[in-house]
Amino acid sequence: MQNIFLVIRSVFFALLINLNLLTLIFSAWNISASSVAGFSVPATSIFIIFESCLLFACVALALVELFRPQIKTSKIPFECCWVALLSVFEIGAAISVIANGPIMLCREKSDWEICVSVSLLVPVTWLKSLISFSYFLALFFTSMAHVRDDHELWSKTMYTVDWFNFPRASPKQPQGHADNWEEKPHEEEKSYSRYLDDIESTSSRKLKAHSIDIRSATDIPAPWARVNNVIRGVDAPFAKRDGGMSTQTSPRSTGDKTLPLTPIYMKMQSSKTGTVGSRFIEKFRESRVLSRSETPSQYGSHFMTTDYPPVIDHDLPIPLPRLSEWVRADALKGTKR
């Protein structure tokens, strides 16, 4: 697709060629009529013919590269110079036609051909000079506007510059971070559809990433999970305490003392839920509050009662509740492996 600026340039050249052809014809007619009438040849008509021929040559040089790209005849500085120079010539010729034209030559006894030719030169020369000067201004200011983006513009030709095709900035993608919980007030009314875009393409990647994380986490067991074959009540932390007998521990527990202690998992009955071992939890679970109905006036009264016995000696072990399954290490003192 041809650049829009080059299309406008071609329109300017087409208008200049048509008007230049008319001025050339009217100037030649004025010179011929003046010679037949016995008057001296007007200098204005001669200058217009010279300027018209020069304009034809410059336009031809500017259009050569369009058909022969290897011939660089449409340099931007050169085109600015010849358009500006011809614009000055055409404005001067138009002023000269006004000064030496219809007012002096169109008289009662003058030749009508001289009067008609001069009268036709006035509008055509002014129109051509205005179009030429307008093209010069458009070319100059357009080049100056593109210099900031293309610093080598003055060394290029009219057909190698990408006129008015500035690089467009890519639109900013909305940044959605999982740890960014604060949103702007105007974003609260927007829908959440932008977070659901492209779910099908991202779900496989997320599933793959989660599977890798889970697999890598399960390949390396926790330190406490590496300790096996621990006998409850015998190995640490429930070793036997006897003044005359040395504490016997399994080779596995004595060989690796740097590992953390193994958690003791208790057997749970199918009807029980939660973790057993705290007397406060056991007391609350066995409380009558959960098994009886209360009136609105009794709500919250059970939180103020102290049903559990006070602690008399903090050095003594915690008394076991009724449904506790903990086994004391002293009871296994006489057991063998």
Task: Tell me the one-letter amino acid at 13.
Answer: F
Q: What is the pLDDT of residue 159?
A: 85
CA distance 106 to 121: 13
Q: What is the pLDDT of residue 56?
A: 93
Q: What is the pLDDT of residue 329?
A: 76
Using a cut of 0.75, tell me whether the model's pTM lies above it. no
* CA distances from residue 96 to 1, 74, 76, 242, 297 in whole angstroms, order as listed: 43, 31, 30, 133, 115
Q: What is the pLDDT of residue 304?
A: 54
- Report pLDDT digits (tens) over 189-225: 455 555 555 555 565 555 555 555 555 555 666 666 6
CB 24 within 8 A of CB 49: yes
Q: Residues in the chain with pLDDT < 70?
A: 1, 102-105, 107-110, 166-230, 233, 235-309, 334-337
Give CA torsion, residues 8, 10, 13, 17, to 10 deg.
-130
- Report pLDDT digits (tens) over 27-57: 999 898 888 888 888 888 899 999 999 999 9
- What residue spans define the domains of the chain? 4-155, 226-264+324-330
216 contact partners, CB below 8 Å, separation of at least 6: none
Q: What is the pLDDT of residue 68?
A: 84
Q: What is the pLDDT of residue 217?
A: 52
